[in-house]
A and B are shown apart, each in its own frame.
Chain A
Amino acid sequence: MKPGRQKSDSCTSFLESGNPAFMAAIDGEADETTLEYLRTHPEYAHEIERMRELQTRLRIRLFRLFCPSSDMLRDYQLGLLTEEQHQAIAEHVALCPHCAAELGLLTTCS
């Protein structure tokens, strides 16, 4: 809290507090010290819940948006795609742990 602020300003969004540990609470990565602080400062609970809901809504719309279908991964694994498709999927798999794991499953089952 900045000097001179009224007590009611303690409810100022924790986003403005600049404390990265509060963000960790949204993803379940907060340490015990942060969790204990949040338990003793319930005014932050609403803000955390609001951010968590925003994050969930974003994930619902964006989760694995660019991942190829399992059919494409299957044909990629066998080399049945065009060169352009193959390259695009190779670049994606290098980045996406989910597709990399699924490709591993296809390779194992082969």
Chain B
Amino acid sequence: MQQSRVIAPAPTGNVQAYHTYETPLQYMELSVLMKHCSAESERFYRGQEHDTRYSYELFRRALVERDEAAWEQLYQHYTGLVEGWVRRNSAFISSGESSEYFVVGAFTKFWRAVTPERFSSFPSLASLLHYLQLCATSVVIDSVRAQSWAEIVPEDMVGADIMSQHSPDEEAMNRVQREEFWHFIDTQLHDEIERVVVYFSFVLGLAPRAIFSRRSDLFTSVNDVYNVKRNVLGRLGRNAQLRQMMAS
């Protein structure tokens, strides 16, 4: 293995005594750094003592300096590990997506979340890898959310505007519109009981039995939930302004 060392004669002039100086990590050539990373990763996988400094430096260059070459090496070095995490996730199996989709998504989230300012929150390689693993899990969660969303929308109501990918600005606007819609609904409700039924029914998507199970402090039986829901849906269904809002 190529090592970066500077050898100098000892002050006494004894040529057999030398000081050796290793290149500081931040100045180490990337190719040399990667050889160290690979070697230490191999030692880790064999259950041997290993030095995490090299891989930590690789992360630092990629995330603090935003060094593209370092990022590419980091991606190549850890893609197998991330894929293993994804494949072991129970939600991955039912997602129908390829593991590559989640691997790319995990690294993308990681890159965006660990800014140069935030890097100091991760003082060790273990903490960085832990966060990378959580990024992989959150990609899976996003996929599951999309699936559950699709389950509440009947096929005949699926339109391009509902299911298409939105830009961040469009998503923000969409959220604002939905919040305004909620505020309008809220103005049509008579009391906290109705608010609970509406929130649990439409925001959380729970059926009346589940609502009663969670809020048995408010209702004598599930019939109470049905009655409140009946009144609210009847009132909302007769509201011309609401019908117009939902038609737009």
In the complex formed, the residue of B with least CB distance to A17 is B230
Q: A35 interface residue, CB < 8 Å from B?
A: no
**In the complex, how many angstroms separate the beta carbon of A96 from the nearest chain B beta carbon?**
6
The reply to whether A65 and B141 contact each other, CB–CB distance below 8 Å, is: no
Q: How far is the CA of A3 from the CA of B152 in the complex (A)?
A: 40
Size class of the contact patch on chain A: 35 or more
Binds B, one of A19-27, A38-46, A83-91: A19-27
The proximity string for B residues 171-191 relative to A, scoring 1 for CB distances below 8 Å and 0 otherwise, is: 000010011011001000000
The reply to whether A65 and B182 contact each other, CB–CB distance below 8 Å, is: yes
The reply to whether A15 and B179 contact each other, CB–CB distance below 8 Å, is: no
Contacts of B91 in A (CB 8 A): 105
The reply to whether B162 and A96 contact each other, CB–CB distance below 8 Å, is: no
Q: How far is the CA of A57 from the CA of B91 in the complex (A)?
A: 27
Contacts of B145 in A (CB 8 A): 64, 70, 98, 102
How many contacts A-B (CB < 8 Å)?
129
Q: A80 interface residue, CB < 8 Å from B?
A: yes
Q: B111 interface residue, CB < 8 Å from A?
A: no
Contacts of B81 in A (CB 8 A): none
The reply to whether B138 and A20 contact each other, CB–CB distance below 8 Å, is: no
The reply to whether B133 and A27 contact each other, CB–CB distance below 8 Å, is: no
Contacts of A62 in B (CB 8 A): 178, 181-182, 185, 202-203
**In the complex, how many angstroms separate the beta carbon of A14 from the nearest chain B beta carbon?**
9
The reply to whether B138 and A71 contact each other, CB–CB distance below 8 Å, is: yes
In the complex formed, the residue of A with least CB distance to B118 is A80
